[in-house]
Structure 1
Amino acid sequence: MKPGAQSAAANAAIEFDALADDAWLLRLGEVIDDALNARIHALAARLRAQAPAWLRDLVPAYASLAVFFDSRAIDADAVRDWLQARCAQTPEVVDPLASLEARTVEIPVAYGGEFGPDLASGAAELGLSPAALIQRHSDALYTVAMIGFAPGFPYLSGLDPELALPRLATPRTQVAAGSVAIGGAQTGIYPRPGPGGWRLLGRTPLTLFDPSRAQPSLLLPGDRVRLLAIDAAQFARLQAGA
């Protein structure tokens, strides 16, 4: 999907693709667009509010929504008919910040140094001081556009377009859990150690994904996110109390 393509996609007709014997994929577009993503989340909320017993799961992405159902309880064509009726009720244009029900989650982030090895080089590429990059990156109100790549990995929309940074030419083989990064026009947080090619600005001491919790993922699609800059001492205290 291409970032930056604008509002025509937010009003596009919905395409239905058979994802599996027990799943439909509803495609609303092919671009990264805040208004389009807001429409995805509005549709997901509408379906959850009216959820019949056969609806098993809803998985929103940037421009599509996967709908999983119990194929033993209902025919796929009947599910499509039900979905098409509900889709027709969804407003074509949705204000990305209009939902009063969305949670706002604060994520503390220690920027730079051992926590964000790409902060200085990223700031230099952008023509900013590291302090200015931290300020502008943490000033934004982000939205969890989708969870993907790894369990609990939030793709955050709302990054200042002027802070976009290309991915590393050679990805790291190991990125620390909690690393906060920029990849192109997006911000994300690595929930667990592993490889990655995004530019690392900082790290949070919070655990983003824990399968032992009732709700394993700290962040959910549609959540609002504020990043709070903290220092190393605060990071250590929060990590010790986790």
Structure 2
Amino acid sequence: MRLLPSGDAGVLVELADLDEVLALHAALADPPAGVLDVVPAARTVLVVLDPGRTTTAAVASWVRAARPVAGARPRGPEVEVPVHYDGADLADVAAALGCSPAQVVARHTGTVWTVAFGGFAPGFGYAVPDGGGWDVPRRSTPRTRVPAGAVAVAGGFGAVYPQASPGGWQLLGRTDLAVFDVARDPAALLRPGVRIRFTEAR
């Protein structure tokens, strides 16, 4: 673990991998006064602070005193995402995993996913599955347009596209749930720490 100042309002924690990020994020679940936000990424955690209420030194000491537990994940609220499993890449994902499309659906709905971090687009949450087993490659040729609500997997992650955009993930299906809405507070439904249960829409 390496701590670096991020201006006068943040401490950036560099870690070895995503497992360490998840464990530290879980260990920092109860921030002290003056800490405004804890923002995980693939290999870092940014702790944002109010310089009028605390210091980077105090925050660094708090981070160093944390006791991450290997394998731990943040325990945020649970969100159910109903999915129509009619994605263009469902058969390809089944072939990559060595099972049938129906078994892909059963595995996807039978897995709890935790949003590890956000990125790529507002409201796009990179979710990791409990137990792993979803290391599916990206498409060799990205699509120029993936529709909003597309439910996809790639590189060990799962996600829901919050709006139409280019993308190279494998499409399992689609949801009618708005995962990003600027009129809602918070706007992003799938934030870091949120646990996702995908269900088969009827």
Q: TM-score under structure 2 normalisation?
A: 0.89
**Letter paired with 2:128:** S
Give yes or no for contact 1:42–1:94 (8 Å, CA) kept in 2: no
Paired residue for 2:25, among 18, 38, 41? 41
**1:104 equivalenced with 2:78 (yes/no):** yes
Higher relative contact order (CA 8 A, sep 6+): 2
Match of 1:32 in 2: 18
Q: Give the structure 1 partner of residue 109 of structure 2.
A: 138
Structure with greater Cα Rg: 1
User: Which one-letter code corresponds to 2:18 in the other structure?
Assistant: I
* Residue number in structure 1 paired with 2:69: 93
RMSD: 2.2
For 1:16, give the aligned amino acid.
L
Unaligned runs of 5+ in 2: none
TM-score (normalised: structure 1): 0.75
Percent identity at matched positions? 38
Higher helix share: 1
Q: Which deviations, in whole Å up to 9, do the C-alpha atoms of 1:174-210 show, x marking residues without a partner?
A: 0011111111111111111101000000111100111
| Deviation readout 1:133-166 (Å, 9 max, x if unpaired) | 1111111011111111111111111165443211
DSSP-derived class of the 1:228 partner: strand
Contact 1:170 1:197 (C-alpha < 8 Å) held by counterparts: yes
Q: Work out the number of aligned pairs and report it.
A: 202
Q: 2:142 aligns with which of 161, 164, 171?
A: 171
Runs of 4+ in 1 over 6 A off after TM superposition: none
Contact 2:13 2:45 in 1 (8 A): yes
